[in-house]
Chain A
Amino acid sequence: MNGTPYTTVIGLEVHVQLKTRTKLFCRCSTAFGAAPNTQTCPVCIGLPGSLPVMNRQAYVLALKTALALHCDIPACTKWDRKNYFYPDLPKGYQISQFDLPMSRDGYLDIGDPQGRFPDRRVRILRAHLEEDAGKSMHDEVAGRADSRIDLNRAGTPLLEIVTHPDLRSPEETKAYLTELKLLLSYIDVSDCNMQEGSLRVDANVNLHLPSPSGTIATPIVEIKNMNSFRAVERALAFEAARQYQVWQETGRKLGDVPKQTRGWDDQAQVTRAQRHKEESSDYRYFPDPDLVPVRVTPAEIDAARAALGELPAALRDRLVTTYALDRYDADVLVNQGRPLVDYFEQVAAQCQDPKRASNWIQQDVLRTLNERGIGIAEFAVAPPVLAELLRMVGSGTLDTMRGRQVLQQMVDTGSDLATAIAALGITEMSDEALVTLCRELLAANPKIVADVKNGKQQALGALIGQARKRNPNADPTRVRKVCAELIEEM
């Protein structure tokens, strides 16, 4: 980042598991967590004679994603075989897409409302469909390596989204991943769960160093095994520093050594060179003769585009223009996902005070959701109720603090607004009662009275706290006003 003598250049390959009910080329379930090898059939375990048949739903989800990423969609795409031997690849090849991917040339915009990095358009090189491999599980039993294979995952549809090397820091990379994940959740195409492997990130990284003869690039390294966005951020930061050190020691430039693959060790917080696998050699791609090309009409593309709904970037813009929210607030709301934005919009419309609605949702509502680990759908207070509460606060019927108590009461008990207010003993104090209370306070606090008389208006604040202790229904604004008037008269 800033202050370093180099620029970190990062490109990402993100594998997203598409949310289909069944696998890409057979009718086996894609559900996570089943007992090993129970979700398999002759096709996905590659038995002789079995043939793949494409699951069109996977293409439809991939199409949605590609359109949301502003990609070009060719009218015809095909399947290719990527040949290599590995025990988790039962056919000895992976069905993927090589030279005619189902989409290419899109982009995703990222930005930071706090300005830590400039707004950036990250170009998408291509997004293509492929089948997942199985999972190898290595048990070290009594000193003897014992490997087992679970093929439940084999054949699950993946969309591989490849960016140009447009990212310039670990922070930007994390922002890209966060925005991508948000986009995918808005269009409902993936669970994006890194723990369950439904979102996997590989990064290509090198450094650009200024020199009198132009920019020098260091060798590109591919980083794998990053199991969280945080791990991605840390791995990239580590790798940039490591590459700079290696550059200083060896002076090696791009092209001097073959591309290296390194794995992130989350325990040790370092990247380590991975053993040279035969994978890095020749995959002998060729068109899969068992499958036919996939065709899509302009009408189907238009229909898919129309069905996308409002995407996060557009939604942020609309919240800013329609509700006069600032960029930061719009960002917070939109980043929480579409259901929270819908909640906000209902509250804002009904209480006629978007700014207040935004503040309360960001503070009180989100805190509750986080504490309870629930989503907005499970939140006990419906939008009209919160809107009514905010109207009472806005009109001064309830002060902010009492409003918060009422909200908490409703969250805790699930009661309606009137019941919560009654349960907290909230009634409006009469003018006489308030004046009486204020007189007592002034009598008990001659020092404050003197301070105020000497022009220290802020001394009144201490009286408000005391007033609320004596009677929680004492409205701070009215207490301040009445006390000031009484002191004036004294």
Chain B
Amino acid sequence: MSLIELTAAQLRDGLAAGRFSAQEITQSLLERIERVDRSVGAFLRMSPDAALAQAAASDQRRAAGRCLSPLDGIPVALKDVLCTAGEPTTCSSRMLANFVPPYDATVVRKLREAGLVLLGKTNLDEFAMGNSTENAALGTTRNPWDARRVPGGSSGGSAAAVAARMVPWAIGTDTGGSIRQPAAFCGTVGLKPTYGRVSRFGVVAFASSLDQVGPLARTAADAALLLEVIAGPDPQDATSAPVAVEPYSRTVAEPLESLTLGVVREQFGAGLDAEVGAAVERAIGTFQALGGTIREVTLPHSGYGVATYYLIASCEASSNLARYDGAHFGYRTDEAAMGRAVADQQRQQGADAADDDGDSGLLRMYRQTRAEAFGPEVKRRIMLGTYALSAGYYEAYYLKALQVRRLIRQDFDAVFGQVDLLIGPTTPTAAYCAGEKLDDPLAMYQGDLYTATANLAGIAGLSLPCGFTRSGLPIGVQLLAPAFHESRLLRAAHHYQQRTDWHTRTPELS
């Protein structure tokens, strides 16, 4: 069996047994990437030499009996929204195309400390805003199962890289579904941990109260391994939770308790693709076969989830992205050209016309910088958020959204009083064609229908492969758990994967 086919847990065991080296793993993956990433476009940047050097150092540690962790030497890919010291971190935006952070994100530091090989940075929707990775400014990522289709987003690069066997696992971020939705579209496992479970320090913010870092992997067992490395309280993130990390990699394989799974009827109504619905129903059947009890439940306010999510996320984003103004770092408009344009304008319209806004060069520099370096979706959300926070609209939009958010959270609290997990579709449809929804943002936003409420409530969610459409596209089933019950979530997913082989299928790529 080729090294690229192995899961991280298998790589760990093989390294421990001395069956292969970290350099051999990295070399195999680099060759795979070389071969298939031209057609997938998962990676924005990678540095084979640096990766091989890390692998060589790992092999030396292992030879000396000084492994940093059992995972020492296993490669991982990072969504290019996590800061890496001394290496570009672009958020797939022209704004940060040349930005090199002087520090590592806490998650990156933890990965390094565990000895993982940082293979490269993966593509995403600009600043993680989108669910198709089509809003990426610095690359195009295709679905490994069908190059005409999108990989989902915003962690589309990470999901595609895992699905295409270019890396055993990867780190993504999930603000409204950005890990789970691409995991579903690409046929991988994707875990959005509880808000506060993983540090956000060094993760370029989209919407601070919703963003959460999590693993994408082929198996729930691997996701458990990776979560164990990256989870935990962080003194540099005030919103990280002071909750001890469970040994997920051990608890994941423990026997499955008799779970009660809630099925949210609202999620099987209009808008759900029939093939997706059928696959999810079959998955529910599998969980019953595993000893699960199914109970129908209701989340009365979930219908407001998408609107509430887009208001809150956009409001926070409008403020989080204010720092990209050209003054201190990142892109700045060509000021010489700007000066010439102003001079031309003054010649044409008379001296008064050009400077009628009363600013010198500053406001114009801000405007032009942001106009040039942000893509349309980012601009749309900044405008939406700025509007919703403005005097006269704040109460009607932002404050109202906060109130609905509380109701949505209460819905989950009530439901988790009755059931252990919720089960349902991750997405309304399987992967759609590139360009299909690009001109219809509202249709695109509906893709977050089943995922965004978990972010609003701060609970844990996971998507795992549960079938394929007739045209061969992966389908994902979503499990949701109460806050800090990742172990239950992962265990259920693991036992499902023991019974099914959806996750073992590999897209054909040449």
The answer on a CB contact under 8 Å between B322 and A91 is: yes
The answer on a CB contact under 8 Å between A289 and B209 is: yes
Complex CA gap A42/B106 in Å reads: 14
Instruction: Please choose the segment from B186-194, B196-204, B264-272 that sits at the chain A interface, where 4 or more of its residues have CB less than 8 A away.
Output: B196-204
The answer on a CB contact under 8 Å between A291 and B238 is: yes
Complex CA gap A91/B318 in Å reads: 12
The answer on a CB contact under 8 Å between B83 and A49 is: yes
Q: Does A165 contact B (CB under 8 A)?
A: no
Complex CA gap A406/B201 in Å reads: 67
Residue of B nearest to A82 (CB): B319
Complex CA gap A45/B99 in Å reads: 14
Q: Does B386 contact A (CB under 8 A)?
A: yes
Partner of B360, one of A85, A92, A145, A288: A145
Q: Does B236 contact A (CB under 8 A)?
A: yes
Q: Does B89 contact A (CB under 8 A)?
A: yes
Considering only residues 69-108 of chain B, those with a C-beta below 8 Å from chain A are 82-83, 89, 91, 96, 99, 101-103, 105
Q: Does B468 contact A (CB under 8 A)?
A: no
The answer on a CB contact under 8 Å between A81 and B366 is: no
Q: Does A292 contact B (CB under 8 A)?
A: yes
Instruction: Please choose the segment from A50-58, A119-127, A443-451, A480-488 that sits at the chain B interface, where 4 or more of its residues have CB less than 8 A away.
Output: A50-58
Partner of B205, one of A48, A90, A284, A292: A48
Q: Does A247 contact B (CB under 8 A)?
A: no
Complex CA gap A167/B239 in Å reads: 42
Partner of B239, one of A50, A85, A289: A289
Q: Does A47 contact B (CB under 8 A)?
A: yes
Complex CA gap A345/B316 in Å reads: 57
Considering only residues 335-370 of chain B, those with a C-beta below 8 Å from chain A are 358, 360, 362-363, 366
Partner of B201, one of A50, A282, A286: A50
The answer on a CB contact under 8 Å between A290 and B239 is: yes
CB distance from B357 to the nearest CB of A (A): 10
A292-B323 contact in complex given A51-B201, A145-B360, C-beta closer than 8 Å: no
A90-B105 contact in complex given A54-B238, A286-B319, A292-B239, C-beta closer than 8 Å: no
The answer on a CB contact under 8 Å between A290 and B322 is: no
Interface of B (DSSP majority class): loop
A276-B358 contact in complex given A42-B101, A48-B101, A49-B83, C-beta closer than 8 Å: yes
The answer on a CB contact under 8 Å between A51 and B200 is: yes
Considering only residues 170-217 of chain B, those with a C-beta below 8 Å from chain A are 200-205, 207-209
Q: Does A337 contact B (CB under 8 A)?
A: no
In the complex, per-residue mask of A337-359: 1 if CB is within 8 Å of any chain B CB, else 0:
00000000000000000000000
Partner of B237, one of A42, A51, A286: A51
The answer on a CB contact under 8 Å between A93 and B322 is: yes
Q: Does A263 contact B (CB under 8 A)?
A: no
Complex CA gap A50/B204 in Å reads: 8
Q: Does A46 contact B (CB under 8 A)?
A: yes
Partner of B236, one of A51, A87, A149: A51
In the complex, per-residue mask of A274-290: 1 if CB is within 8 Å of any chain B CB, else 0:
01101000101010111
Residue of B nearest to A275 (CB): B358
Complex CA gap A276/B318 in Å reads: 24
Q: Which residues of A contact B236 (CB under 8 A)?
A: 51, 53
Residue of B nearest to A291 (CB): B238
Considering only residues 1-56 of chain A, those with a C-beta below 8 Å from chain B are 42, 45-54
Complex CA gap A241/B453 in Å reads: 60
A87-B362 contact in complex given A289-B239, A292-B239, C-beta closer than 8 Å: yes
The answer on a CB contact under 8 Å between A48 and B208 is: no
Complex CA gap A282/B330 in Å reads: 26
User: How big is chain A's contact interface, by range?
Assistant: 20 to 34
Q: Does A83 contact B (CB under 8 A)?
A: yes
| Total count of chain B residues near the partner, CB < 8 A | 47
Complex CA gap A22/B237 in Å reads: 17
Complex CA gap A178/B209 in Å reads: 43
Q: Which residues of A contact B205 (CB under 8 A)?
A: 48-49, 290
Q: Does B291 contact A (CB under 8 A)?
A: no
A92-B323 contact in complex given A284-B390, A289-B316, C-beta closer than 8 Å: yes
Complex CA gap A288/B215 in Å reads: 27
Q: Which residues of B contact A42 (CB under 8 A)?
A: 101-103
Q: Which residues of B contact A278 (CB under 8 A)?
A: 363
A91-B389 contact in complex given A275-B358, A276-B358, C-beta closer than 8 Å: no
Partner of B235, one of A50, A53, A90: A53
Complex CA gap A284/B386 in Å reads: 8
CB distance from B505 to the nearest CB of A (A): 36
Q: Does B329 contact A (CB under 8 A)?
A: yes
Q: Which residues of B contact A53 (CB under 8 A)?
A: 235-238
The answer on a CB contact under 8 Å between B239 and A47 is: no
The answer on a CB contact under 8 Å between B319 and A290 is: no
A81-B101 contact in complex given A48-B204, A53-B236, A290-B239, C-beta closer than 8 Å: no
Q: Does B222 contact A (CB under 8 A)?
A: no
Q: Which residues of B contact A81 (CB under 8 A)?
A: 319
Q: Does B325 contact A (CB under 8 A)?
A: yes
Partner of B366, one of A85, A91, A288, A289: A85
Residue of A nearest to B95 (CB): A48
Complex CA gap A46/B321 in Å reads: 11
Complex CA gap A420/B329 in Å reads: 67
A90-B323 contact in complex given A48-B204, A290-B239, C-beta closer than 8 Å: yes
A290-B358 contact in complex given A53-B236, A284-B386, C-beta closer than 8 Å: no
Q: Which residues of A contact B203 (CB under 8 A)?
A: 49
The answer on a CB contact under 8 Å between B238 and A290 is: yes
Q: Does B470 contact A (CB under 8 A)?
A: no
Q: Does B19 contact A (CB under 8 A)?
A: no
Identify the 9 closest CB pairs spanning chains A and B, nearest first.
Answer: A92-B322, A289-B208, A289-B209, A284-B389, A48-B204, A49-B202, A49-B83, A282-B391, A87-B327
| Contacts A/B (CB < 8 Å), 21 sampled | A42-B103, A48-B96, A48-B205, A49-B82, A49-B205, A51-B237, A51-B238, A53-B236, A53-B237, A53-B238, A83-B389, A91-B322, A92-B321, A92-B322, A145-B360, A284-B318, A284-B391, A286-B398, A289-B239, A290-B208, A292-B238
Given contacts A48-B96, A50-B202, A290-B205, 16 further A-B contacts (CB under 8 A): A47-B329, A48-B99, A48-B323, A48-B329, A49-B83, A51-B201, A83-B322, A83-B389, A87-B328, A93-B322, A282-B390, A284-B386, A284-B391, A289-B209, A289-B239, A290-B208
Binding site for A on B (CB under 8 A): 82-83, 89, 91, 96, 99, 101-103, 105, 200-205, 207-209, 235-239, 315-316, 318-319, 321-323, 325, 327-330, 358, 360, 362-363, 366, 386, 389-391, 394, 398
Binding site for B on A (CB under 8 A): 42, 45-54, 81, 83, 85, 87, 90-93, 145, 149, 275-276, 278, 282, 284, 286, 288-292
